[in-house]
Amino acid sequence: MEFHHVTVLLEETVNLVVSNPSGRYVDCTLGGAGHSKMILSKLGASGKLICFDQDIKAIRHAEDILGKDERVTLINRNFESLEETLGELDLLPVDGIIFDLGVSSPQLDEAERGFSYMHDAPLDMRMDSSGLLSAREIVNLWTEEELAQLIWDYGEEKWAKRIAQFITQARRERPLETTGDLVQAIKAAVPAAVRRSGPHPAKRTFQAIRIVVNDELGVLDRGLDQALNCLGQGGRVGVITFHSLEDRIVKERMKSWLGRCTCPPELPICRCNAKAKAKVITKKPLLPSQEEVEQNPRSRSAKLRVAEKI
């Protein structure tokens, strides 16, 4: 399957982050290379683009469409190694960094990846196929209490306890091997009236398991400060999130860069030595237009936040 992905908030993100035609820019989530192609269109001959992706299929796709461009460096790594890798390549500082978080359309659409509740496939959900933890291990080996906590914490699913109970009941008869097995257990747990209204009953549970399999929130948390460290003065970081857990982390981290005093109010003078590291460009997150949502329904939950290093 061709690695085709409709890039969300494309022009808004690139226009806010990329300003120097001779600059160095980083696409931390290469995916279908939508942001990368537009960044390159704004760069001159001396510009530089560094692209990260832990999914080897994304890298191979980019090699086909970008590989002959000498301005591009493709890196098959998670952006968790951002600062270390750019240092090794002597590419610090950079002028801008983009994160487009979550799962890409090809990962959802390729049934064998196990990301989608719409296709029956082996339970996997690893963005990096060499990763040790898979959805199958979580669903079949974690305790009922651990499953319930995972589904509640990372899926914000009100039926988390009941879903965990039905998963553990189902696996007593035989291991859950496919996404279809998991969907069947979830559907049995969610009341029929709830299934008839609202989103697919498995949506939040699949999201929660995928987040844990790939440690998405942990990687994001560790990657944001690295991004700020990698920027030169005036450099910008733009982050596109797709659910409230990601957005909360980005919002709070950018707020922490503002250098506001965290001392108790009763202290007469500041002792935390707070110092501003960045300013937030987007006072409120930018959302996709109605036209974009109509053309690409997967964009409806996207939010873009941008900060500038000072």
Let me know: does 214 contact 126? Beta carbons within 8 Å. yes
Any binding-site annotation on 33? yes
Residue 108 has pLDDT above 70, yes or no: no
| Closest listed residue to residue 24, CA positions, set 125, 107, 92 | 92
What are the structural domain ranges in the chain? 10-106+216-309, 110-214
Res 77: pLDDT = 95
Q: Give the least confident one: 24-33, 149-158, 292-301.
A: 292-301
Any binding-site annotation on 34? yes
Percent over 90 (pLDDT), the chain: 78
Res 202: pLDDT = 94
Any binding-site annotation on 79? yes
Q: Give the least confident one: 2-11, 175-184, 210-219, 260-269.
A: 2-11
Fold for domain 10-106+216-309?
A: Rossmann fold (3.40.50)
- Higher pLDDT among residues 79 and 115, named by residue: 79
Q: Give the least confident one: 73-82, 120-129, 263-272.
A: 263-272
Res 1: pLDDT = 45
- Higher pLDDT among residues 265 and 254, named by residue: 254
Q: Mean pLDDT across the chain, nearest whole number?
A: 92
Give the separation between CA 36 and CA 24, rounded to whole angstroms: 12
- Domain 110-214 matching CATH 1.10.150.170: the answer reads yes
Residue 14 has pLDDT above 70, yes or no: yes
Residue 109 has pLDDT above 70, yes or no: no
Any binding-site annotation on 95? no
Q: How far is CA 132 from CA 47, 116, 128, 156, in A?
A: 37, 20, 9, 25
Any binding-site annotation on 35? yes
- Higher pLDDT among residues 219 and 67, named by residue: 219
Any binding-site annotation on 124? no
Res 5: pLDDT = 60
Residue 86 has pLDDT above 60, yes or no: yes
Residue 54 has pLDDT above 50, yes or no: yes
Let me know: does 100 contact 237? Beta carbons within 8 Å. no
The mean pLDDT value for 239-251 works out to: 96
